[in-house]
């Protein structure tokens, strides 16, 4: 008699990279016949994929483990915070196992032990594209893991090690499988997308009968042949980024660059040990926009880095005013346990950090409002994410899911998630656009 499948609860915290890890673990478990439980109570065991990047993320991870322990009691912990087993066991001594990031096999083995699988290969087939936690029409595509840089505020290289790129053929095979499964937007992620393939010496791999080098430019060109949106995240402004701009201008890759600049003052950038900190970024941005006028640039910044003076902060404001970035996220510096920047002199006090954060966000709100107003009266493609009784919500090429704004399409109730439509933009504010479907 067929046993009913064991059920696994899953909590995935942290960045898109952690989400990809979660998807891999779930795909493997589904292939072995496990079901995914909707609630902690309905699960035979719960896996919590943690984030250990900031202290606030560590607190959130501990809370999620605590909730799973209270509601289920059989809990397997993995992910970045798993590197600090002492902290986890200190707070929750009875968790079943603790592993670090991308230890898929160890997580699966712990699940086997806690709740043995009831495998039936004929009933438990998994779609070729694996199981995704993102909506069906978009998916994250992780091209490498780890990082060769040593930014002083970051412990990711310590947690995840140096850069390890996936061979280009493997990345392309995954991308094709996702597109065949209905994905209409691929979000390329890594810790440092521009460095893709450096560790492989940019070795070529066969794809569709021709070689594709493990290099950002070649990979973008190949992904651009799949006929779906391709969005690039975590790009550093190395010189070869210039080669991707023509692909954007030709419509092969979305005209969108997510570049975490983090600051603009040269001394602060040097103290942060940022990659490409000597690049003349304002000139580069102007040149990119000249070649690709619809380019959207998103970035993140840190205010209140140790030693940041008022004058250095004002440099950052002036730079932002001149750069006119489309989308900006800003964090107040938080001393992450183990990060070298914590030892730098002159920490900025908390009130000052808050005040700088508010000034930066005020300035950026005005910039963002100006930038978005330029779409009014134009036609833009919109990928629909959600539809309810009032209308549809989607995103234009300028909007990444979760982090950017959206395009509201009031009254467009006949659409379904995953539709790609053309909208005429009628209104804008500092975050979002409003429009109507052309011909709708
Ligand atoms: S580039 Fe810097 S911030 Fe990004 S993962 Fe590498 S060390 Fe961390």
For the residues of 215-278, what is the DSSP string, one character each?
SHHHHHHHHGGGSSEEEE-S----GGGGGTHHHHHTTSS-SEEE---B---HHHHHHHT-TTTT
Q: What is the pLDDT of residues 373-425, one digit of tens each?
A: 999 999 999 999 999 999 999 999 999 998 899 999 999 999 999 999 999 99
Strand order in the sheet with 327-332: 138-142, 185-189, 229-232, 256-258, 296-303, 327-332
Buried b (16+ CB within 10 A) or exposed e, 170-181: ebbebbbebbee
Three-state secondary-structure class, residue 377: coil
Q: What is the pLDDT of residues 173-182, one digit of tens each?
A: 999 999 998 9
Q: Which residue has the tokens 């492989």?
A: 200
Query: How many A from CA of 163 to the centre of ligand 1?
Result: 10
Query: How many A from CA of 5 to the centre of ligand 1?
Result: 41
pLDDT in the model for residue 118: 62
The pTM of the full predicted model, rounded to 2 decimals, is 0.78
CA proximity to 235, closest of 227, 243, 224: 243
Q: Token digits for 198?
A: 């450096």
Three-state secondary-structure class, residue 179: helix
What does the alpha-carbon distance between residue 423 and residue 389 come to, in Å, rounded to a whole number? 19
Q: What is the pLDDT of residues 2-28, one digit of tens each?
A: 457 788 999 988 777 778 788 888 877
Query: How many A from CA of 1 to the centre of ligand 1?
Result: 52
pLDDT in the model for residue 275: 77
What does the alpha-carbon distance between residue 138 and residue 129 come to, in Å, rounded to a whole number? 12
Position with higher pLDDT, 440 vs 327: 327
**From the CB of 156, is ligand 1 less than 6 Å away?**
yes
Return the residue whose CA atom lies nearest to atom 4 of ligand 1: 191
State the closest ligand 1 atom to the C-alpha of 160, by its place in the atom list counted from 1: 5
Query: How many A from CA of 293 to the centre of ligand 1?
Result: 29
**From the CB of 275, is ligand 1 less than 6 Å away?**
yes
pLDDT in the model for residue 402: 85
Return the residue whose CA atom lies nearest to atom 1 of ligand 1: 149
Query: Is 27 exposed, middle or buried (CB count within 10 Å of its CB: 0-12, 13-18, 19+)?
Result: middle
Report whether pLDDT(121) > 70. no
**From the CB of 151, is ligand 1 less than 6 Å away?**
yes
403 Ramachandran zone, left/alpha/beta (phi>0; psi -120 to 50): alpha
Looking at residue 163, what DSSP letter applies? -
Position with higher pLDDT, 297 vs 121: 297
Section 245-268 average pLDDT: 96
**From the CB of 79, is ligand 1 less than 6 Å away?**
no
Q: Token digits for 433?
A: 């656009």
């Amino acid at each position: 008699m067929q046993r009913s499948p064991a059920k696994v609860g899953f909590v995935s915290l942290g960045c898109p990279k952690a989400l990809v890890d979660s998807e891999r673990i779930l795909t493997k478990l589904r292939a072995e016949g496990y079901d995914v439980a909707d609630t902690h109570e309905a699960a035979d065991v719960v896996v919590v994929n943690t984030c250990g990047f900031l202290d606030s993320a560590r607190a959130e991870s501990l809370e999620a483990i605590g909730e799973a322990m209270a509601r289920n009691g059989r809990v397997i912990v993995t992910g970045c915070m798993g590197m600090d087993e002492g902290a986890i066991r200190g707070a929750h001594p009875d968790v079943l196992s603790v592993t670090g990031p991308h230890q898929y096999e160890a997580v699966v083995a712990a699940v086997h032990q806690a709740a043995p699988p009831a495998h039936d290969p004929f009933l438990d087939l998994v779609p070729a594209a694996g199981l995704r936690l993102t909506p069906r029409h978009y998916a994250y595509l992780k091209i490498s893991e780890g990082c060769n840089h040593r930014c002083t505020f970051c412990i990711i290289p310590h947690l995840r090690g140096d850069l390890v790129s996936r061979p280009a053929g493997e990345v392309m095979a995954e991308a094709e499988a996702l597109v065949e499964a209905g994905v209409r937007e691929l979000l390329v992620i890594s810790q440092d997308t521009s460095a893709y393939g450096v560790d492989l010496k940019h070795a070529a791999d066969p794809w569709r009968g021709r070689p594709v080098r493990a290099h950002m430019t070649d990979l973008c060109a190949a992904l651009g042949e799949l006929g779906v949106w391709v969005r690039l995240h975590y790009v550093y402004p190395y010189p070869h980024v210039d080669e991707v701009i023509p692909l954007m201008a030709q419509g092969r890759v979305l005209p969108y660059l997510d570049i975490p600049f983090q600051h603009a003052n040269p001394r602060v950038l040097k103290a942060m040990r940022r990659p490409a900190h000597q690049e003349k970024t304002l000139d580069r941005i102007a040149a990119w926009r000249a070649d690709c006028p619809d380019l959207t640039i998103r970035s993140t910044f840190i205010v209140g880095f140790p030693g940041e003076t008022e004058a250095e902060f004002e440099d950052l404001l002036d730079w932002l005013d001149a750069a006119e970035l489309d989308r900006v996220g800003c964090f107040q510096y938080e001393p992450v346990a183990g990060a070298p920047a914590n030892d730098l002199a002159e920490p900025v006090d908390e009130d000052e950090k808050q005040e700088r954060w508010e000034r930066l966000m005020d300035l950026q709100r005005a910039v963002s409002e100006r930038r978005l107003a330029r779409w009014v009266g134009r036609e833009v493609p919109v990928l629909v994410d959600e539809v309810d009784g009032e209308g549809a919500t989607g995103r234009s090429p300028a909007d990444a899911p979760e982090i950017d704004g959206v395009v509201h399409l009031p009254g467009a109730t006949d659409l379904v998630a995953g539709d790609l439509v053309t909208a005429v933009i009628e209104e804008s504010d500092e975050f979002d656009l409003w429009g109507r479907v052309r011909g709708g």
